[in-house]
Amino acid sequence: MPGKARPGKVKSSSSAKKRIKKTGKGTFAHDKAANNHLLQQKSKKQKRLAKKVIKLKGYTRTAKNLLPNS
């Protein structure tokens, strides 16, 4: 259709798609660092603390901007 302007698509950040997941309650969670390799030399405490973390409301706005289609 000539003469009609189409709005641009809103795209999600590719890096955020790989790192951030939306939880059932609508908040966002991501994995902490230091739990993928060289685990023999890390302490039990260090490995225990490297689990998933759920971000609170202040982070939600940023995550929604990065992942508008989630």
Give the pLDDT confidence of 35-58 residue by residue, as tens digits. Answer: 889 999 999 999 998 887 877 778
Tell whether 41 is covered by a domain.
Answer: yes
Q: Residues near 31 by Cβ (< 8 Å), separated by ≥ 6?
A: 19, 50, 51, 52, 53
Confidence of residue 29 (pLDDT cuts 50, 70, 90): confident
Residue 62 is part of which domain span? 27-66
Tell whether 5 is covered by a domain.
Answer: no
Tell whether 12 is covered by a domain.
Answer: no
Tell whether 19 is covered by a domain.
Answer: no
Q: E strand or H helix at 33, and its extent?
A: none
Distance CA 70, CA 64 (A): 8
Tell whether 52 is covered by a domain.
Answer: yes
Tell whether 58 is covered by a domain.
Answer: yes
Number of domain units in the chain: 1
Tell whether 6 is covered by a domain.
Answer: no
Confidence of residue 32 (pLDDT cuts 50, 70, 90): confident
User: What is residue 2's predicted lDDT score, i.e. its pLDDT?
Assistant: 67
Residue, of 21 and 58, whose pLDDT is higher: 21
Tell whether 39 is covered by a domain.
Answer: yes
User: What is residue 1's predicted lDDT score, i.e. its pLDDT?
Assistant: 57
